Amino acid sequence: MKPFDLFMPTFNSAKLLPIVLPRIEKVISTSAINKKFIVDDFSSDDTCKVAESLGWTVARNKVKGLNNAQKYGFSLVETECCAVFEHDVFLAENWFNTIPALVYSGKYDAAQGIRVRNLRGFKEADLYDYDNRFIRTEDNTFYRMGKNALPQFWNTYNFKKYCIRKDVCSIHLKGDLTTCLRHDYFISRTFNGESLLHLLKGFLHSPFLSLKVFKKNGGLSVLFVYPMERLLYFSGGLIKKSIR
């Protein structure tokens, strides 16, 4: 296997980096890494200092925003392929032995495992979602690089060449219930492009879907946390629309 670059967009990630960065280096063979770096999005904590103390190079984002940090990270990649990780993903032990080979084989332009949140109720809901939907994330993903300093997948958006392996399951470190729900609200208020009607339908349907999740995967907490999550998605979307 050819060595590849790996990077992580970060923002105020000082508390989690001592957990997730050593885990990445434990899972991925040292000989497979060309360079490893974070792209920091104007953190106000010790993110950069912590990353450097753990042996990672720091690149500072040029234009504020994690999406911009990711694009800037891609522009710094020197290898044919690269891996991108988020700051709150505890990487699956079998990630390195499974995911890169799918792209190097030529069959796929991008490949990833799944990740489930480390909270009761949310974990069961995540597993249900992966069984019933195509969920593309960018937090444990291996890309073939294309033109314009972006991955090949970004240039073509050919989902037939995008592989998701459910047997490669990382842990999404989301802290406690309040932190997780607050994050859901923030994401919906900041990034969500879905219509308010769609978000409202998701909330109204959530009690019935949570019952399906409970019957299939267990986790009594899902009967509460899933409707609450959908309510916060709707609330975030509503605030986003009202302040435009």
**CATH number assigned to the domain covering 4-172:** 3.90.550.10
Q: 80: pLDDT confidence band, cut at 50, 70 and 90?
A: very high
Q: Model pTM?
A: 0.92
Query: What is the structure's pLDDT at 187?
Result: 82
> Facing residues of 163 across strands?
111
Q: Report which residue type is found at 58.
A: V
Q: Express each pLDDT in 151-184 by its tens digit.
A: 998 888 888 899 999 999 999 999 999 999 998 8
Query: What is the structure's pLDDT at 244?
Result: 58
Give the start-to-end residue ranges of the domains of the chain: 4-172, 177-242
Q: Express each pLDDT in 102-138 by its tens digit.
A: 999 999 999 999 999 999 999 999 999 999 989 888 8
Average pLDDT over residues 67-84: 96
Q: Give the whole-angstrom CA distance, residue 140 versus residue 30.
A: 17
Position with higher pLDDT, 192 vs 23: 23
Report phi then psi at 163, rounded to 5.
Answer: -110, 135
Q: Express each pLDDT in 12-61 by its tens digit.
A: 999 999 999 999 999 999 999 999 999 999 999 999 999 999 999 999 99
